């Protein structure tokens, strides 16, 4: 299909872009999601504001131990950035798992987060990282915590006239281990289940554990039940099994008989939003594992090297590589 008629502006200052947004225009970043929606007439904006000529929106820098990532940074720029890989490897790992190389070359982190597809990858990482999102408008700027940003399917805290301009992420603490693991749709790469974890130990117990889950619900969410159970534990295999005991591994049939396995329900201690069908023992046996274990056990296999390798986490007794 062909999109409905629209006017197009490509301002070269943030001020001009925000003025157009205040007049009701819609931002265009990589166009990877918006253009197909326009072609399907699921979106019919009258005025598009192309952000790609606005200077400074794709910069990536470190300030006082915090990463500042411009909303227009592409997935590839994040995946390949040395500063992201060293200070926040979870984000680089996640970016590298989005779609294919064409999508990663053009799609942007701001576009992905603002689009809030419930199967998108970044939301899980952004939640696990407890990131801050900066929204700008002609009225000024405000900061929104990641946990408040995702409101519902394709719905975020971004108000009309606002632009997501920056994502701020604290550098992962020394010794932290991170992982992003997803079971993906083989055609698009979108997550059927995606889980991001950041975990660290101090004094022999898990001191930090944040888990972001995508793909299994109307919006990405933090698996707070499992987090709470893991923090203060030794992080052993048994602790992780106990932390995930509230959930179930299920197989779901989505459109076209697609198999969707709610691995994350193990961690989240809650059921996926859709009606869970009966358990399938073969899938359960095959998939019964938790992502926290990946992070605590042997994370380099699932991502880049540990954040700071000065304080490597000893593998807990009795825990072996699971995958
Ligand atoms: C074939 C294919 C496979 C894909 N696979 C994956 C995948 O595996 N994992 C995954 O996570 N994603 C996947 N995607 C989506 C991809 O990551 C997109 O790049 C992303 O969802 C949208 O980013 P964009 O920069 O293209 O935004 P656009 O398409 O330009 O915009 C998307 C929406 O966000 C709004 N918007 C854009 N920028 C801003 C901003 N700064 N502030 C406020 N609103 C803004 C737009 O108005 C629009 O509503 C895939 C897409 C395709 C086409």
* CATH fold of 177-296: Enolase-like; domain 1 (3.30.390)
Closest CA to 185 of 270, 102, 118: 118
Q: How far apart are CA 18 and CA 48, in angstroms?
A: 12
Q: Does domain 60-170 have CATH number 3.30.465.10?
A: yes
Q: What is the pLDDT along the chain (323 residues), one digit of tens a residue?
A: 799 999 999 999 999 999 999 999 999 999 999 999 999 999 999 999 999 999 999 999 999 999 999 999 999 999 999 999 999 999 999 999 999 999 999 999 999 999 999 999 999 999 999 999 999 999 999 999 999 999 999 999 999 999 999 999 999 888 899 999 888 888 888 888 899 999 999 999 999 999 998 988 889 999 888 899 899 999 888 888 787 765 433 333 333 333 333 334 334 333 333 433 444 433 333 333 444 444 444 333 333 333 322 223 333 333 332 22
Q: What pLDDT shows up at residue 8? A: 98
Distance between Cα 129 and ligand 1 center (Å):
20
- Give the position, in ligand 1's atom list, of the atom nearest the Cα of 120: 11
Distance between Cα 94 and ligand 1 center (Å):
14
Residue 106 gets the label, from left (phi > 0), alpha (psi -120 to 50) or beta, of alpha
The answer to whether the Cα torsion of 136, 139, 145, 149 is positive or negative is negative
211: CB partners within 8 A, 6+ apart: 128, 195, 196, 197, 222, 223, 226, 227, 267, 268, 291, 292
- Asked if residues 308 and 175 have their Cβ atoms less than 8 Å apart, the reply is yes
Distance between Cα 110 and ligand 1 center (Å):
8
Instruction: Please count the other Cβ atoms lying within 10 Å of the Cβ belonging to residue 145.
Output: 12
265: CB partners within 8 A, 6+ apart: 216, 247, 248, 249, 250, 271, 272, 276
Q: What pLDDT shows up at residue 18? A: 98
Q: What pLDDT shows up at residue 91? A: 97
Per-domain residue ranges of the chain: 7-50, 60-170, 177-296
Q: How far apart are CA 173 and CA 181, in angstroms?
A: 20
The pTM assigned to this predicted structure is: 0.83
Q: Does domain 7-50 have CATH number 3.40.50.720?
A: no
Distance between Cα 309 and ligand 1 center (Å):
34
Q: What pLDDT shows up at residue 269? A: 34
- Give the position, in ligand 1's atom list, of the atom nearest the Cα of 33: 29
Q: How far apart are CA 183 and CA 166, in angstroms?
A: 28
Q: How far apart are CA 90 and CA 146, in angstroms?
A: 15
Q: What pLDDT shows up at residue 246? A: 54
- 3-class DSSP assignment, residue 61: strand
Closest CA to 201 of 227, 180, 174: 174
Distance between Cα 142 and ligand 1 center (Å):
22
Q: What pLDDT shows up at residue 237? A: 83
Pocket perturbation via mutation, ligand 1, pick of 31, 32, 162 by most ligand atoms within 8 A of CB: 32
- Asked if residues 307 and 171 have their Cβ atoms less than 8 Å apart, the reply is yes
Give residues (CB < 6 A) around ligand 1: 26-34, 71, 98-99, 103, 107-108, 110-112, 114-115, 117, 120-122, 158, 163-164, 188-190
């Amino acid at each position: 299909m062909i999109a409905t008629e629209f006017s197009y502006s490509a301002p070269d200052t943030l001020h001009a872009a925000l003025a157009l947004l205040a007049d009701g225009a819609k931002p265009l970043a990589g166009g990877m999601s918006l253009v197909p929606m326009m072609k399907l007439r699921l979106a019919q904006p009258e005025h598009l504001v192309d952000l790609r000529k606005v200077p400074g929106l794709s910069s990536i820098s470190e300030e006082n131990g915090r990463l500042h990532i411009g909303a227009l940074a592409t997935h590839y720029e994040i995946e390949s950035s040395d500063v992201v890989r060293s200070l926040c490897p979870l984000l680089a790992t996640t970016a590298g798992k989005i779609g294919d190389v064409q999508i990663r070359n053009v799609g942007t982190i701001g576009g992905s987060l603002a689009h809030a597809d419930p199967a998108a990858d970044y939301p899980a990482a952004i939640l696990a990282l407890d990131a801050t999102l900066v929204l700008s408008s002609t009225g000024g700027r405000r900061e929104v915590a990641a946990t408040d940003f995702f409101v519902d399917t394709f719905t975020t805290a971004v108000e009309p006239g606002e632009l997501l301009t920056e994502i701020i992420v604290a550098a992962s603490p020394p010794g932290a281990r991170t992982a992003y693991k997803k079971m993906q749709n083989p055609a698009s790469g979108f997550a059927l289940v995606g889980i991001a974890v950041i975990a660290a130990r101090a004094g022999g117990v898990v001191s930090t554990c944040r888990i972001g889950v995508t793909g299994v619900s109307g919006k990405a969410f933090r698996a707070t039940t499992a987090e709470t159970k893991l923090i203060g534990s030794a992080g052993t295999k048994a602790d992780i099994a106990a932390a995930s005991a509230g959930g179930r591994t299920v197989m779901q049939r989505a459109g076209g008989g697609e198999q969707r396995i709610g691995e994350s329900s193990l961690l989240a201690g809650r059921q996926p939003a859709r009606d869970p069908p009966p358990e399938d023992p073969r899938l359960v046996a095959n998939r019964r594992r938790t992502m926290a274990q990946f992070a605590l056990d042997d994370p380099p296999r699932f991502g880049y090297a540990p954040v700071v390798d000065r304080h490597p986490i000893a593998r807990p007794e009795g825990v072996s590589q699971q995958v």
